[in-house]
Amino acid sequence: MSNGIDLAAKLATGLTAMDLAIGPVEQEKLLAYVALLAKWNKTYSLTAIREPERMVTHHLLDSLAPLPFLPASALRMLDVGSGFGTPGIPLAIVRPEWQLTLLDSNHKKTTFLRQALLELQLPNVTVVTDRVEAYQPEAGFDIITSRAFADLGDFVRWTNHLLLPTGEWAALKGVYPHEEITHLPPDVYVVGVDALQVPELAAERHLVHVRRQA
């Protein structure tokens, strides 16, 4: 069983390898999130990954890998199908100036998310229990992201009403989604695809940026 020191070292080493400058307070919160997830997971089976040391790699580092490819400025972001909070919670911890909304239709998962917000003290996060097609917020979002939520085409279609005219979809994918890109709606286009490097993760990761046609 890993102790806190092992996990802290693993996280710090991973962040250094990814060239991400994350402060000690934020790193502590990231590890507190893993501890809470591991605790709830015993009862609620939120994630198939049960070992905290693998959660550091597969959930924390994997969620933070897109950071260099996202705007540095303050923004409104929507994490669709957030599940147990990835990538939304790790991003919210390291970017307190961002306003994040975590959307999921599963009550069990959003109950966990609300508890995480309380324990981790994340005032920049809102949790919504709703189906994405039915969700009607007062204002749109600068960036809409998702991690293993849906096919790219469905993701864009289901969230089209939620994106600001100047906004961007930033979808986290595994292998390069050649086929999904060819089936995107005709009124959008791919701005670029970034290959993400996640330490100790023996799998491909890509971030796909999609915008509306002008």
Residue 58 — very low, low, confident or very high, per pLDDT cuts 50/70/90?
Answer: very high
Angle at 92 between CA 176 and CA 97, to 5 degrees: 115
Q: Is residue 20 part of a domain?
A: no
Q: Looking at 2-11, 135-144, 162-171, which range is the least confident one?
A: 2-11
Q: Is residue 163 part of a domain?
A: yes
Decide: helix, strand or coil at residue 115: helix
Q: Is residue 144 part of a domain?
A: yes
Instruction: Give me the pLDDT at residue 214, please.
Output: 84
Angle at 143 between CA 80 and CA 189, to 5 degrees: 100
Q: What is the pLDDT of residues 67-104, one digit of tens each?
A: 999 998 989 999 999 999 999 999 999 999 999 999 99
Q: Is residue 24 part of a domain?
A: no
Q: Is residue 21 part of a domain?
A: no
Q: Is residue 95 part of a domain?
A: yes
Instruction: Give me the pLDDT at residue 5, please.
Output: 61
* Domain CATH for 190: 3.40.50.150
Q: Is residue 55 part of a domain?
A: no
What Å distances lie between residue 18 and 74, 197, 200, CA to CA? 22, 7, 11
Give CA torsion, residues 75, 81, 82, 86, to 10 deg.
-90
Q: Can you say whether residue 78 is alpha, beta or left, with left for phi > 0 and alpha for psi between -120 and 50 degrees?
A: beta
Instruction: Give me the pLDDT at residue 3, please.
Output: 60
How many structural domains is the chain composed of? 1
pTM for the structure as a whole: 0.96
Q: Is residue 130 part of a domain?
A: yes
Instruction: Identify the domain containing residue 140 by its residue range.
Output: 64-212
Q: What is the pLDDT of residues 124-160, one digit of tens each?
A: 999 999 999 999 999 999 999 999 789 999 999 999 9
Contact between 61 and 14 (Cβ < 8 Å): yes
